[in-house]
Amino acid sequence: MTGFPILSLMLLVPLVGAVLCLKSGRETARVVALIATLIDFALGVVLWTHFDIGGAQWQFQEHAALFSGFDWKLGIDGIALLLIVLTVFLMPICIGASWNSIEKRAGEYYAAFLLTETLLLGVFVAQDLFLFYIMFEAGLIPMYLIIGIWGGAERIYASYKFFLYTLLGSVLMLIAMFWMVNEAGTTDIPTLMAYNFPPAAQTWLFLAFFASFAVKMPMWPFHTWLPDAHVQAPTGGSVILAGVLLKMGGYGFIRFSLPMFPVASAHFAPLIWGLSMAAVVITSLIALVQNDMKKLIAYSSVAHMAIVTVGLFAFNRQGLEGSMIVMLSHGIVSGALFLGVGVIYDRLHTREITRYGGLAVNMPYYALFFMLFTMASIGLPGTSGFVGEFLSLLGVYQESSWVALIATTGIILGAAYMLYLYRRVIFGEQANADAAKLPDLDFREWAMMIPLAAVVLWMGVYPESFLAPMRKDIGALEARVAMAKPKGDADVKTGAERTATAAAAALASAQLKGAK
């Protein structure tokens, strides 16, 4: 594949599709959108199969100088590869989810969606700092429109909140970027990843980037935009928001904060841990009392993303790889859960949990899929959710048993709120006559559920497919942060050593006596 600009092509295809969609009516637009996303998915598969695992760190590189200090520079490593594959995998499913539910201004809707795809992919392939920034920020705009135009009743407030929060961070990040380029004299991300900024500067640079990534993640207490955005967004928007957009925060930490500011990262690790622990407990408890299905899943996303941050700031192999797997898994699983909500929302037009009940009777296959995704969400071994969660938590235990303990309570609370949801929606008597008449999954919905379910099990049983491509890159990152890695609280003292010290002490005191 050398020389063939596949990354540019992947950015171009949805862009062309978007232009075509703008000009078309609903019927044509959705077909165009589906074809465009499927082409991109095919290209993603090609990308994955041609990615040389264990080869060069940066592959499929493209470079064209545009104007001073600003280059069209693309390239991916294993980490980016996996997030790209996640994006192109979820996109056709989002189009499928929108197939019948979007009626007004459909052409523009699909155009906005395809534009989002281009920009999201751009975030992951960009190797130029400002190119990254543009993609990172511009990605908000179509998403903002999707919520603001095709959203629910409170869409204006939701989109406003979403926009305000995400802007907050990005302004600071931009300032930090200017300073960095000035200091290092390059906009090349791989170069910057190896550049040693002065520790004092790292501190404020870290905080500036943190502001942006913490909002995107989102970390508690910068999360309140997420429940509103999810509740108001159309199903496809929720899927992509939870599935990919939230991953930009984690990707940012992996790509920028950790390798570029390792000293500051270690310095601020307790802050991150504290916020993450708070997020796990607080947002899980909030999820427990929700009556709106989407809000519940949105709050659960915050709790899951906190597992990502504790894993990242464990500074070790298991934590880092675990965080990546949590991100991939959460992308699939929360996407699938939002899709599941969308399936019944399309039928009954309500997200109120109490309006459902007993769906296992009339929608048995739906109940089966929902069970699988519920179990994946609460991290049942054998599903994707477990592998990442286990690795992340295991990783952070090496650093702090307190953090591991509090973060692991998420497995209890997660089970409580998800099973409570399942119990109220799927189990029980068919209390509502209209809910009792809902038909089971149709062909389109099967076609969306099957791939998601397959990936959930694949990642749970044989995650090596996903661990292998990033192994070398995570290794490089681990080596990079190793210099600042804090000492764990476990500090195991073996019996042998202790006897040795005791013996030494005894010897010393004997000598002391002898000296007297």
Partner 1 sequence: MSSIQTIVFAPLAAAIIAGLGNKKIGAVPAKLVTTGALFLSCALSWPIFLSFLGGHAQESITPVLDWVKSGDLDFSWTLRVDTLTAIMLVVITSVSALVHLYSWGYMSEEPDQPRFFAYLSLFTFAMLMLVTANNLVQMFFGWEGVGLASYLLIGFWFRKPSATKAAMKAFVVNRVGDLGFMMGMFGIFLVFKTVSIPQILHDAPTLAGSTIGFLGFRFETATVICLLLFVGAMGKSAQLGLHTWLPDAMEGPTPVSALIHAATMVTAGVFMVCRLSPLFEMSETALHVVTFIGAITCFFAATVGTTQTDIKRVIAYSTCSQLGYMFFAAGVGAYGAAMFHLFTHAFFKALLFLGAGSVIHAMHHEQDMRYYGGLWKKIPLTFGAMMAGTLAITGVGIDDVFGFAGFYSKDAILEAAYAHGTELGHFAFAMGIFAALLTSFYSWRLIFLTFFGKARWEQSEHIQHAVHDAHGHGDHAHDHHHGHDHAHGHGESDGTAGYHPHESPLNMLVPLAVLTVGAVFGGFAFAQYFLSEGTGEFWKGALVFDESLIHAAHHVPEWVKLAPAGVMLTGFAIAIFAYILNPGFPAAFVAQFGFLYRFLLNKWYFDELYDLIFVRPAMALGRVFWKVVDIGIIDRFGPNGAAWVVARASRGAARLQSGYLYSYALVMLVGLVGAISWVIAR
Select from 19-27, 129-137, 316-324, 508-516 the region that touches partner 1 (CB under 8 A): 316-324
How far is it, in rounded angstroms, from Cα 282 to Cα 286? Answer: 6
User: What is the token pair recorded at 264?
Assistant: 């500051």
Nearer to partner 1, 349 or 493 (CB): 493
Among 463, 477, 481, 484, interactor with partner 1 by CB under 8 A: 463
Which segment (89-97, 333-341, 447-455, 495-503) binds partner 1 by CB under 8 A? 495-503
* Of residues 226-255, those binding partner 1 (CB under 8 A): none
Using CB under 8 A as the binding rule, the residues of this chain from 328 to 387 that contact partner 1 are 358, 360-361, 364, 368, 371, 375, 380-382, 386-387
Query: Over 187-251, what HEC string results?
Result: CEHHHHHHCCCCHHHHHHHHHHHHHHHHHHCCCCCCCCHHHHHHHHCCHHHHHHHHHHHCHHHHH
- Taking the CA atoms of residue 322, residue 328, residue 333 and residue 334 in that order, the dihedral angle to the nearest 10 degrees is 100
User: CA-to-CA distance for 455 and 474, rounded, in angstroms?
Assistant: 22
CA distance 309 to 252: 11
Q: Does residue 486 sit in helix, strand or coil?
A: coil
Question: Taking the mean position of all CA atoms in its chain, how far away is CA 98?
Answer: 22
Near partner 1 by CB under 8 A: residue from 132, 136, 150, 165: 165
Could you give the 3-state DSSP secondary structure of residue 65? strand
- Amino acid code (one letter) for 214: A
Least distance in Å: CB of 53 to partner 1?
Answer: 13
Smallest gap from residue 246 Cβ to partner 1 (A): 18
Residue with smaller CB distance to partner 1, 4 or 462: 462
Q: Whole-number minimum distance, CB 264 to partner 1, in Å?
A: 11
d(CA 516, CA 508): 12
Beta strands 70-76 and 59-67, pairing class: antiparallel
Q: What is the largest CA-CA distance in the chain?
A: 100
Interface residue with partner 1, options 26, 30, 155, 161 (CB under 8 A): 161
Q: Which stretch in 32-40, 130-138, 327-335, 415-423 sits in contact with partner 1 by CB under 8 A?
A: 415-423
The reply on whether position 172 binds partner 1 by CB under 8 A is yes
Binding residue for partner 1, selected from 3, 182, 439, 496, defined by CB under 8 A: 496
Asked if 203 interacts with partner 1 (CB under 8 A), we say: yes
Residue 53 within binding range of partner 1, rule CB under 8 A: no
Structure tokens at 217: 């993640």
User: What are residue 292's DSSP bridge partners?
Assistant: 352
CB nearer to partner 1: give 237 or 385: 385
Using the rule CB under 8 A, is 35 a contact of partner 1? no
300 binds partner 1 (CB under 8 A): no
Binding segment toward partner 1, per CB under 8 A, in 127-135, 203-211, 257-265, 344-352 = 203-211
